Structure 1
Amino acid sequence: MGPTAGLASDVVVIGAGPVGQTAALLCSQWGLRVRVLEAQTHRDRTGSRAICQQREVLDTWDAIGAGVLIDRGITWSRARTYYRDKEIFSVELKDRGSALLPPFVNIAQSEVEETLLGLIERSPLVDVEYGAKVTRLQSENDKALLEVDTPAGARRIESRFVIACCGLHSEELRAQIGVDFPGQSFDDLFLICDIKADLREQRGERRFHFDPNWNPGRQVLIHEQPDSIWRVDWQVPEDFDLAREEATGGLHRRIREIAGCQPYELVWRSVYRFQGRVASRFRHGSIFLAGDFAHVFAPFGARGLNSGVHDVENLVWKLAMVARGLADSRLLDSYEVERRAAALENLEVTSATMRFLVPQTEADRRRRTLLLEGAAHGSRAAISAVDSGRLYEPYWYVDSPLTTPAPGRTFGGRPSRGEPVDPVPGTVLPDLPLFASSGERRRPQRLRQLVHHTFTVLSDEPSFVQALEHLPVEVMDLNRLDPKRSLRRALDLGDRPVHLVVRPDGHLAAMIEGNPSGVPVALQRALGNASA
């Protein structure tokens, strides 16, 4: 073992996938020095992999300089579900505000990684090391210790914090820090292909097919990507063999059922089995688990990469507050409280989807057929029970110790599919357009662009700012930002004076109506002060 490297970084990120890259860029924006360790010797540029990027994740990427992904991706806001040859329902994704960002864009994970890597390469606070495999991980005396194998030899690294984004297949590292990874593996096989073709009639929406005549008894999911590339997911039989399918022309026939007579190019293909697992803990001392290292879900609903990005957005501002001496380590305990609850919600949703998509008993199969038949005949009860994948939404931290409850505002639980969540503390601040003067020109901005660098108080009566001078907060005049009162309507605020405490990750820490005296207390609570 070589010599120990000193504390050359505030944060070590293990894994240079999109979650690790996002973590590194968020850290650099908060002024934290970051070292990214990636076991692979080069980036994997093949295949679409995670393609559906949700609105609030796009907001996060826009805040770190990757807004080009919004323009580059394929925008969609409608999800259609079919049974055989009949559309049985369509979901329009709604928003409480007047969001300028689309509900989802489709763009290949490899392109996301390329964009984020370009930003990392321009950051003086981030170093990326490929071919650096972490073989030992432990937390000791308020710092993390790592042993790393590299082509130049083995060495030890110390860091104040570690964000472990090292993926699903890192069992040994989880075991070293005493973290279990319980859950379920699904035996059912899915074939995934990227196909370049001109399929104009399917643009701008997600299409899910139950039991189409071209994949009888199973399902197919179709998504558009940039450059006329289409992502198609087929459920296939248990004895499916991709090599045999290609050799016999079966794959060509499958694609022809989708592309018709249009010419096509097969860009990428793979076969997957899916898992649903959540780590027993998300924190071990100075080590924090994120992304697929902390949780893995079946992909129907786009809850993998999106939730991983929200893991690190939740975590990094807390690390920064502690590193700057603005909060103590109690704030870091809230990462596991908030993000493990989010992961369990995602696991519950995706597990229910998989039980519907791949029923394991004859009784469950009969029930699914009855529901699909009922939905095809217009039964509302059957339509509401058909599960083709509930699409990702940001989690609601209503039970977090950082959230100040609002009198008279009761959280109604998971909303109906496509509907926005109840406007209560713990949910995400709705977005809306702003117009800021720039010389003689006026350019559109978004409200949430203003809140990512510190705590923000949006207030009808901002004159109380002197009471907050010792806290990391910026106070903004809500009336000047929102003269049309769009946010007030979106949050059902009525006409009373209001003071909204917004966390750096865009979640509402408090909604205080009337007297602003509760704002300092709510801010202390949001910083992890248990006495608040």
Structure 2
Amino acid sequence: MTGPAHSGSDPVIIAGAGPIGLTLALALARHQVPSIVLDEGTGVAPESSRSTVLRTDTVGFLQRIGYTRVTADGRSWTAWRTLRRHRELHSVELQHDDVLHLAQHRLLRGLRDAVSATGLVELLPESALLELEQEPGEEAVNVHTQRTWLRGSFLVGCDGPRSTVRKRLSLRFPGRAAADHYALATIRADLPFPGEALLHRDQPRHGGAPAAREVVARPLPDGVWRLDWRLPPRAPGFSPDQLIEQLRATLASWNGGKVPGYELISSADYVVQQRLATKFQVGRAFLAGDAAHLLGSLGMQNLDEGLRDVDNLAWKLGLVWQGCAPERLLTTYQAERRNAVIARLRAVDQAMPLLQPSTALLEARRSLLSGSLRRNAPLLSDGSLGTGRLGGAPAYPTTPGRGRSALTPTLSPTSPGVLVPDLPVITADGTQDRLRARLGRGFLVVLVAPGTGVWASEHWLGAGLMPQLTEATEALPLPAELLVTEEYPGAAAHTVLLIRPDGHLVAAVEGHRPEDLFDLADQARSAAAELPVPRSATGLGSRERLTAGQS
């Protein structure tokens, strides 16, 4: 079912034309929602030393909203290794596209190309937001830019750490101003571990190079590497000469004491902050990405979390804008996403003393403890690889969330709120696809039906549960699509899954009762305080169930 759009609905206004703002515009376009993106710059994405690491779920999200070149623009890693001096403590073999590393200017250019391919996004260069107005009871937000006044149905601040939207909403941004300190160099070189990412702690020093506690090397396309040296938080950054000395010492330690040929492309010094806005929503205005939170210690990627903000918010704005859900659904964005970031920051606070002792003396003492660093080495990879509590996709176990979001890989794939795995599926017209490729437009109803892959679709599309489930899906109070899969981890045959547009599971029920499916969908779109545990469909006889070989 699709609801009518509000008569005369205004576009969503997005402040900020960085990766988060452009991604939100594309995600809204997938829901047929128009947007205006305010770009305080000229629309050019110049080359820079900044790069970003994306995980499988965020890469898939970018691909399905239209950035089809993301994997071509980035570099996949084959492995992640953690070393202390010359000993390997931990190693993780990676599959293709488990982790993707790309330069931020390439990401911006790819997103801009995707935006230009849709007629639902208007980019306004040199149009920084100056003021905003929200009138009580009005279904609009008025925005004053450098050029004109604009009227939008909603406003989303994707305008970075110094967010004007956040300031105009009078929201505080507390946290730590210097959680970590790094020196960065981007080089072109042939290193002896091609395709691998490496964290090297307590590197052997050569000559008079300045002390750095650890260095991380991450490959980029075209033989380029990004090297980040962690420095004491209050220490001065490297001078140009010290950077070259440290770079040469690092390269020599990986090359038998000899410095290989290299080209220094760029360098920078940066401080990682940990901050969290006191609210993500005020009325019809929202914050996302760096405007809402900053985190980046222990290898975590704030852009990944910003993309998850967008994925969570876009479908909710889409349903409300299209008239398919009440506005109270939008309150779940803050409940879910802010709790997820809180859980992430709490995990960092717990891990930091184990992984990054605050003094050299404490670090020396810890290194004497038998197996201490080796035992904790997997934690060092979690943030960088997008795994565990430091990097894995969050679960929203109460939809909408009351309480803390789960950040643990131990939840069952059938637990409400988890991000569903990517599996082969078959559409109602017999087309084969991937589950996550179908996300982003509406809810998904997925039937687990073993044997469907070996039988022609005409033999089972009209058999067993399919007619009843097709009718129930069409009757749902929101846009939905019916899919079938051979198997789903932890789910028995004939299980029916209801999945949100961002890929998080609403519920898994045994068999099928139309009233259960309708109630679950209605509560998911209506922001009910708690989703009930649906009844098992034990009343269905075996002849009513879809099994392999039925026709």
TM norm structure 1:
0.83
User: In the TM superposition, what is the alpha-carbon distance from 1:208 to its structure 2 partner?
Assistant: 0.8
Residue 323 of structure 1 and its aligned partner are, at CA, apart by 0.9
Match of 2:470 among 442, 456, 465: 465
The DSSP-based 3-state class of the residue aligned with 2:183 is strand
The equivalent residue for 1:25 is 26
Measure the CA separation in 1 of the matches of 2:360 and 2:345. 24
Sequence identity, in percent? 28
8 Å CA contact 2:444, 2:483 repeated in 1: no
Partner in structure 2 of residue 448 of structure 1: 436
Whether the 8 Å contact between 2:15 and 2:156 is mirrored in structure 1 is yes
1:213 aligns with 2:204: yes
Rounded to whole Å, the distance in 2 between the matches of 1:518 and 1:367 is: 58
Query: Whole-Å Cα distance in 2 between the matches of residues 217 and 249 of structure 1?
Result: 12
1:395 is aligned to 2:397: no
Q: Is 1:161 matched with 2:154? A: yes
The aligned residue for residue 343 of structure 1 is: 341
Q: 1:198 to 1:443 in 2, by over 3 A?
A: farther
Alpha-carbon displacement from aligned partner over 1:403-460 (angstroms, at most 9, x marks no partner): 9xxxxxxx995446xx78654110111102458999xxx9973221123211110125
CA change 1:187–1:518 in 2 (3 A) is: closer
Alignment of 1:250-289 (within 5 A): 251-255=247-251, 257=253, 260-289=258-287
- TM-score, with length taken from structure 2: 0.80
User: Which stretch of structure 1 is more off in the superposition, 68-77 or 174-183?
Assistant: 68-77
Taking the aligned partners of 2:412 and 2:269, their CA distance within structure 1 comes to 35
Instruction: Determine the C-alpha separation between the residues in 2 that align with 1:374 and 1:216.
Output: 24
Matched-pair contact (CA < 8 Å) for 2:55–2:304 = yes
CA RMSD of aligned residues (A): 3.2
Change (3 A) 1:273 1:217: closer
| 1:421/1:288 CA distance change after superposition, 3 Å | farther
User: Within 1, Cα distance between the matches of 2:424 and 2:299?
Assistant: 28
Deviations 1:149-204 (A, max 9, x none): 2xxxx43222111111000122x5423212111111226531111111122x3233
Local SS of the residue matching 1:300: helix
2:125 paired residue among 120, 124, 130: 130
- Name the residue aligned to 1:185: 177
Report the Cα distance in structure 2 between the residues aligned to 1:367 and 1:421, rounded to whole angstroms: 39
Residue number among 458, 476, 479 corresponding to 2:482 in the alignment: 476
Tell me the CA shift for residue 470 of structure 1. Answer: 4.7
Equivalent residues of 1:402, 1:527 under 8 A apart: no
Q: CA deviation at 1:216?
A: 5.0
Q: Within 5 Å, which residues of 2 pair with 1:130-529?
A: 130-140=125-135, 141-149=138-146, 154-170=147-163, 172-186=164-178, 188-199=180-191, 201-214=192-205, 216=211, 218-236=213-231, 238-245=234-241, 251-255=247-251, 257=253, 260-360=258-358, 364-366=362-364, 368-370=366-368, 374-375=371-372, 380=375, 383=377, 389=383, 391=386, 392-401=391-400, 414-415=407-408, 422-433=413-424, 445-460=433-448, 461-462=465-466, 463-468=468-473, 469-478=475-484, 482-483=485-486, 485=487, 487=488, 490=489, 492-495=490-493, 497-516=494-513, 517-529=515-527
Report if aligned partners of 1:139, 1:284 keep a CA contact under 8 Å in 2: no
1:4: which partner in 2? none
Q: Confirm or deny: 8 A CA contact 1:10 1:159 kept in the other structure.
A: yes
Displacement of 1:45 after TM fit? 2.4
Q: Secondary structure at the match of 2:399?
A: coil
Q: Secondary structure at the match of 1:472?
A: coil
The one-letter amino acid of 1:464's match is L
Which residue type is aligned with residue 197 of structure 1? A
- What amino acid does structure 1 have at the position aligned with 2:162? H
Post-superposition CA distance 1:237-284 (Å, at most 9, x none): 554444442697555555555575432111121001111111110001
Count of equivalent residues: 489
Residues 465 and 386 of structure 1, relative CA distance in 2, 3 Å threshold: closer
Structure 2 gaps, min length 5 = 1-7, 449-464, 532-551
* Residue aligning to 1:114: 109
Aligned partner letter, 1:322: V
Does the C-alpha gap of structure 1 residues 33 and 383 become closer, same or farther in structure 2, counting only changes over 3 Å?
A: closer
